[in-house]
């Protein structure tokens, strides 16, 4: 540690307790500050997704324990269950002992204050009507919709409208007219690379419904595991799953659970590639002889189905007949991506087959395979969905192409008359900021498509691939960022205010916890486990939490190139796994730096020092002691050292900016070189406060050039 840093830490020691406490709770304080700064907009609750049209008035519907809800729904129906959930959540948020036995009776009467009405039961298919109208007056709430699905969506908006003042809880009076912009609003959950138990799927379905997503894309076969019980070919799940699979009864339970929430469940069985687990029990359908073992590593592997073997299609005919009965959704996803052709090239029978059928290359061979699979799916009344690679001229127009390559692929498909959904830009496993997902649009404002072609873009899906997540970390990679994708797919295109999105996201993130998702709570649990039985002080534990709050996993696929080989068996319990994909605290720091640089107000400079530089500097020493004591934390010692140097750099930059003095070209050059070093990952993490420090240096550099 440098002498300067030691001196800095010594002079700030007296601020440790107060400053550290201030920083740990800073996000809560900033949340309140942002809401307070909204002025007139403070009366608008944090709605996400933003409805198509909201008109709020001055009145308030006051909530008390005599709040009754009722409509035409009979007990056991979708809306009856939704009202029961609504009332339970309302009681949970307010602490009110609601008098109504909402689990038994929702008939309307003199005490009814929330009235719901719909015309018909909605079908779980694309383009079904999910619109609703919500009207709130001082003594009555009315929710109307063409289908019961609209009632479900409107109830979520009503809950988000719940507000409070010194007199208690209330709903603001007004009118909401709402409908989704896109009909296909999904979340892919990969249960193959790491198995996701039933409770993970169900709690995420509840969270999906809260933000009006309507498709669970369930990835159920992969090189690392085949996850569905099949009675026609039991060796698939018996030999290809390590014993981790869903029984057919569990599958039906999830489908019914999702249906009650207005969510479709579309299965994906990835073929002809990404298919090693199929061949563990059935090597006879592979393009190369076995034996095969379940893959433990990640990537693209050679095993692939044999398109030249007639028995392959007889196998799939029986398989999809069973699967079509199990999954009622009209769509079935066949994957079709990243097919390695090595085994096709090495198999003389396959090469002879290609020559006989005039198949010029491997793309033509896969197109042949896809057409045969399409015949089978059509036979069982299923429409095919697949990744970009499935597209070949001649396929029927009712297939759906899911694009991982980008909006241009959707444009090209739509111009040829094909339906598409976007996932490029929504890969939430890549640990990218919410803003990046939020501004990514299936139909960008500058889209060259005609209005008719735009109708072929059905929507999009967030994709939660599971190479680097476990059941205890997957929620933190999905939420809260998927809520902003849900808004992009539901709300009007012009809703694009990033700062307001983050304001609302903070509140929605906390609300999502009532569904059981563990995106917030598990961080503390994981940090406590890392410390284990080593006796540490509460100050050291608080310092560790603070470091986790301002650290982020490296973005993209960089974790796979940081020197460790990840497999499906390695623990995902390290410090990097406890860090959120995006540090909202670091974003707040950057915004505060930007505010100071634009205003140069002394009070903003003091706020920066007291809220960030002093408390961050104060945690370096306890963190260093902690990393010496705890074996599992030794790998973050360089990260801690980097934090100390960043604090010094930022503090010195602030001093120069406040005093108006010039640090000199050499100082700036040295700091820029040091910052480049500090930006290199440590323990597969990066300190998310670096962009804020970089802005301070840039401001000094600009000032020096001007002078």
Please give the Cα distance from 379 to 365 (Å, whole number). Answer: 22
The contacts found for 442-445 with CB under 8 angstroms, 24 or more apart, are 442/182, 442/407, 442/410, 442/489, 443/407, 443/493, 444/407, 445/493
Q: Label the pairing between strands 168-178 and 132-136.
A: antiparallel
Please give the Cα distance from 24 to 549 (Å, whole number). Answer: 9
Residue 577 CA from chain centroid, whole number: 15
The closest alpha carbon to 291, from 277, 301, 310, belongs to 277
Distances 660 to 180, 302, 655, 671 between C-alpha atoms, Å: 52, 63, 8, 18
Burial of 39 (0-12, 13-18, 19+ CB in 10 A): exposed
In the beta sheet, which residues pair with residue 128?
none
Assess contact for 547 and 623: CB atoms under 8 A.
yes
The secondary structure element, H or E, covering residue 343 is: helix 342-346
Q: Determine how many CB atoms are found less than 10 A away from the CB of residue 388.
A: 20
Please give the Cα distance from 21 to 681 (Å, whole number). Answer: 27
Please give the Cα distance from 271 to 425 (Å, whole number). Answer: 24
Contacts of 3 (CB under 8 A, 6+ apart): none
The closest alpha carbon to 93, from 116, 67, 130, 55, belongs to 67
Contacts of 309 (CB under 8 A, 6+ apart): 285, 349
Say which DSSP state 77 is in: S
Annotated catalytic residue, options 322, 338, 412, 701: 338
Q: Which residue has the tokens 């079509």?
A: 324
Sign of CA dihedral 335, 339, 343, 349: positive
The closest alpha carbon to 439, from 425, 453, 429, belongs to 425
The secondary structure element, H or E, covering residue 320 is: helix 310-326
Tally helices (H) and strands (E) across the chain. 28, 18
Q: Residue 652 catalytic? A: no
Cα torsion 536, 537, 543, 544 to 10°: value is 30
Assess contact for 475 and 519: CB atoms under 8 A.
yes
In the beta sheet, which residues pair with residue 54?
176
Burial of 605 (0-12, 13-18, 19+ CB in 10 A): middle
Sign of CA dihedral 353, 355, 359, 360: positive
Query: Would you state the structure tokens that stand for residue 434, as one six-digit string?
Result: 């919410």
The rounded radius of gyration (Å) of the Cα atoms in the chain is 28
The secondary structure element, H or E, covering residue 544 is: helix 538-549
Q: Residue 651 phi/psi, 5° resolution?
A: -65, -40
Catalytic residues: 338
């Amino acid at each position: 540690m440098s002498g300067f840093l030691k001196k800095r830490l010594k002079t700030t020691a007296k601020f440790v307790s107060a400053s550290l406490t201030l920083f740990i709770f800073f996000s809560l304080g900033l949340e309140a500050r942002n809401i307070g700064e909204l002025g007139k907009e403070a009366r608008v609750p944090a709605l996400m997704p933003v409805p198509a049209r909201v008109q709020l008035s001055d009145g308030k519907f006051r909530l008390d324990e005599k709040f009754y809800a009722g409509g035409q729904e009979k007990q056991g129906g979708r809306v009856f269950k939704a009202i029961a959930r609504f009332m339970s959540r309302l009681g949970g948020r307010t602490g009110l002992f609601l008098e109504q036995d909402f689990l038994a009776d929702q008939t309307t009467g003199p005490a009814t204050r929330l009235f719901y009405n719909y015309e018909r039961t909605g079908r779980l298919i694309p383009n079904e009507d999910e619109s609703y109208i919500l009207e709130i007056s001082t003594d009555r709430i009315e929710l109307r919709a063409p289908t019961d699905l609209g009632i479900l969506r409107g109830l979520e908006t009503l809950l988000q409208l719940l507000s409070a003042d010194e007199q208690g809880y209330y709903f603001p009076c007004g009118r909401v007219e709402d409908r989704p912009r896109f009909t296909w609003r999904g979340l892919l959950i990969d249960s193959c690379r790491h198995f996701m138990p039933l409770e993970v799927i169900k709690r995420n379905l509840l969270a999906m419904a809260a933000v009006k997503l309507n498709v669970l894309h369930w990835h159920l076969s992969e090189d690392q595991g085949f996850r569905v019980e099949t009675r026609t070919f039991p060796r698939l799940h018996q030999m290809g799953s390590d014993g981790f699979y869903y029984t057919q009864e569990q599958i039906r339970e999830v489908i019914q659970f999702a249906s009650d929430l207005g969510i479709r469940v579309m299965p994906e069985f990835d073929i002809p590639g990404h298919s090693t687990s199929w061949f563990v029990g059935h090597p006879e359908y592979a393009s190369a002889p076995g034996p095969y073992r379940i893959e433990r590593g990640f990537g693209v592997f050679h095993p692939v189905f044999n398109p030249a073997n007639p028995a392959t299609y007889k196998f799939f005919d029986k398989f999809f007949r069973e699967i079509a009965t199990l999954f009622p959704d009209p769509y079935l996803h066949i994957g079709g991506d990243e097919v390695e052709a090595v085994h096709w090239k090495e198999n003389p029978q396959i090469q002879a087959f290609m020559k006989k059928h005039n198949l010029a290359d491997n793309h033509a061979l896969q197109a042949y395979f896809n057409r045969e699979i399409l015949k089978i799916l059509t036979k069982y009344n299923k429409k095919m969905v697949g990744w970009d690679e499935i597209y070949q001229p001649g396929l029927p127009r009712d297939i759906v192409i899911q694009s991982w390559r980008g909006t241009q692929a959707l444009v090209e498909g739509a111009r040829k008359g094909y339906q598409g959904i976007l996932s490029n830009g929504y890969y939430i496993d890549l640990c990218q900021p919410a803003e990046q997902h939020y501004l990514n649009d299936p139909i960008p404002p500058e889209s060259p498509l005609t209005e008719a072609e735009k109708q072929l873009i059905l929507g999009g899906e967030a994709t939660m691939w599971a190479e680097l997540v476990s059941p205890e970390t997957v929620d933190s990679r999905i939420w809260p960022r998927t809520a902003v994708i849900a808004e992009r797919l539901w709300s009007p295109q012009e809703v694009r205010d990033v700062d307001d999105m983050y304001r609302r996201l903070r509140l929605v993130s906390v609300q999502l916890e009532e569904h059981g998702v563990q995106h917030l709570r598990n961080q503390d649990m994981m940090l406590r486990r890392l410390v284990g039985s080593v006796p540490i002080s509460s100050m050291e534990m608080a310092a560790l939490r603070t470091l986790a709050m301002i650290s982020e996993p490296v973005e993209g696929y960089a974790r796979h190139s940081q020197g460790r080989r990840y497999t499906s068996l390695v623990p995902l319990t390290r410090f990097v796994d406890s860090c959120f994909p995006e540090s909202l605290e670091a974003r707040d720091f950057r915004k505060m730096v930007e505010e100071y640089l634009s205003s140069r107000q002394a009070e903003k400079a003091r706020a920066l020092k007291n809220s960030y530089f002093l408390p961050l500097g104060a945690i370096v020493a306890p963190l260093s002691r902690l990393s010496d004591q705890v074996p599992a934390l030794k790998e973050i010692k360089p990260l801690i050292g980097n934090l100390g140097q960043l604090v010094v750099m930022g503090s010195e930059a602030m001093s120069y900016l406040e005093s108006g003095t010039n640090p000199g070209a050499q100082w700036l050059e040295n700091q820029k070189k040091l910052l480049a070093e500090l930006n290199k990952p440590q323990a597969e993490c990066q300190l998310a406060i670096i962009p804020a420090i970089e802005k301070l240096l840039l401001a000094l550099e600009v000032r020096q050039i001007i002078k």
